[in-house]
Amino acid sequence: MNRKALITGAAAAALLTTCLLVPSFAFLSAKSPKVVNHFVSALITIDLKETLVDPETGKKTGVKPEVYENTYLTVAGRTVDKDPTPIILKNSTDCCIYVGVRNEYPDIFSIEDVNADWTLVVDKDNKLGEGVAVYKYNAVVAKSDNDQQLSAVFEHVRISENFDGKFHGASETDSAIEARAFAVQSENTAAVSDGYAIDYFSSSDVFDKD
């Protein structure tokens, strides 16, 4: 009798313990779904091209910006086509776009027909070198799955009527206008991006190294 009562009591205690512990274990072992944060490094890839131009006439022969270099015969009073056009390659992060232009002879060559999408950045502290101008694209370029071609910064270069047939620099027969695009992330840089671009284009060799 005592033995039977002992077994029954033990079984009841075991059952009671199980009933108490199982929900507890269930509660304790519950876990949330795994949260994984993937951090990938952002980047900006930018290109600058212009439409192919006939060297003799200075007029476009191409249909879209596809070359890095054009050659022009310098004729006093002539206006030639030149359309430096930035292309933001796909998956570049949101960014502000700047294009710097170095004109060795501002008295001979003048940039004309700046597109309304672009604004000349004011160099308040005179950091830029002589003949260097920086233009800013008026809108932020958002990240995209496709390459984004912006409008050309300007359309023409006018050669002065006073050009006497030779340049007065290192070479009497050759001169060049160089342009380079620069992009900086738009997030958290609204107040500083212009200065950042000015600093970049004020570097002495920015137009010399490819």
Interface stretch with other proteins, choices 13-21, 28-36, 66-74, 116-124 (CB under 8 A): 66-74
Rounded least distance, CB 26 to other proteins, Å: 43
**CB closer to other proteins, 52 vs 127:** 52
Residue 53 CB neighbours (<10 A) = 21
Distance CA 156, CA 78 (A): 10
Distance CA 49, CA 70 (A): 10
**CB closer to other proteins, 33 vs 161:** 161
Interface stretch with other proteins, choices 15-23, 39-47, 121-129, 143-151 (CB under 8 A): 39-47
Considering the rule CB under 8 A, would residue 200 count as an interface residue with other proteins? yes
Interface stretch with other proteins, choices 8-16, 32-40, 45-53, 121-129 (CB under 8 A): 45-53
Element (DSSP H or E) covering residue 89: none
Residue pair 101/86 in contact by the 8 Å Cβ criterion: no
Contacts to other proteins from residues 113-172, by CB under 8 A = 157, 159, 165-167, 172
Cβ-count burial of 9 within 10 angstroms (0-12 exposed, 13-18 middle, 19+ buried)? Answer: exposed
